Amino acid sequence: MTFDASPRPELPRRLILGSTSRYRRELLQRLGLPFDCEAPQVDETPQPGEAPRALAERLALAKARDVARRHPETIVIGSDQVADLHGQPLGKPLVHARAVAQLQQMSGQTVVFHTAVAVVCEALGLEARQVAEVRTRFRTLSASEIERYLLAERPYDCAGSAKSEGLGISLLEAIDNDDPTALIGLPLIRTCAMLRDAGLQIP
């Protein structure tokens, strides 16, 4: 019996998105890489006095680490986004009344969205993270505009109660960022860089 001793190309490592967010899943699909999704088991409660950027970074890394512990040979992506209004974190409103209150607070204000992404692979000893900051300036919004928007788009699962990729763009005066998909929930430029460092080919 003859054995082929020639070197064989290594198969790329499996990739998992440590999130159940459909927005992040749709963004990651743009890269054309096969991946699975798995929900991380992480307490997202802010720590006392924790700044919004630090909260987003800590949670992104915690989510990636949690899934990576269960799949040590796999490359895992974790991500988190926190809206920052003058140093105060704004999370997902979940219900209509809280979304109204958030948009009333944000009306006429500059809000910074901190979108953190972490890539972890225990087998490679890899643990990397980055944070993209997106500065948004909201128009002065009337009560009727807020109500019409929320009833039309129902963005109750979005930090800051608005979807910039949809009708929420009409609430804004300006967006300033260096990673265009960060506001939607996953900064793909930064994600690509870290995945390449992990050995994946993109494109």
pLDDT digits (tens, 9 = 90+) for 44-102: 999 999 999 999 999 999 999 999 999 999 999 999 999 999 999 998 999 999 999 99
Query: Among residues 66, 80, 84, 179, which one is catalytic?
Result: 80
Catalytic, 80? Answer yes
Domains annotated on the chain, with CATH: 15-197 (3.90.950.10)
Environment class of 175 (CB within 10 Å of its CB; exposed 0-12, middle 13-18, buried 19+): middle
pLDDT at 3 over 50: no
At 168, the pLDDT band (50, 70, 90 cuts) reads very high
pLDDT at 155 over 70: yes
* CA separation for the pair 13, 10 (Å, rounded): 9
pLDDT at 110 over 80: yes
pLDDT of the residue at 13: 87
Q: pTM score > 0.75 for this model?
A: yes
pLDDT at 12 over 80: no
pLDDT at 2 over 80: no
At 156, the pLDDT band (50, 70, 90 cuts) reads very high
pLDDT of the residue at 4: 38
CB–CB of 159/103 below 8 Å? no
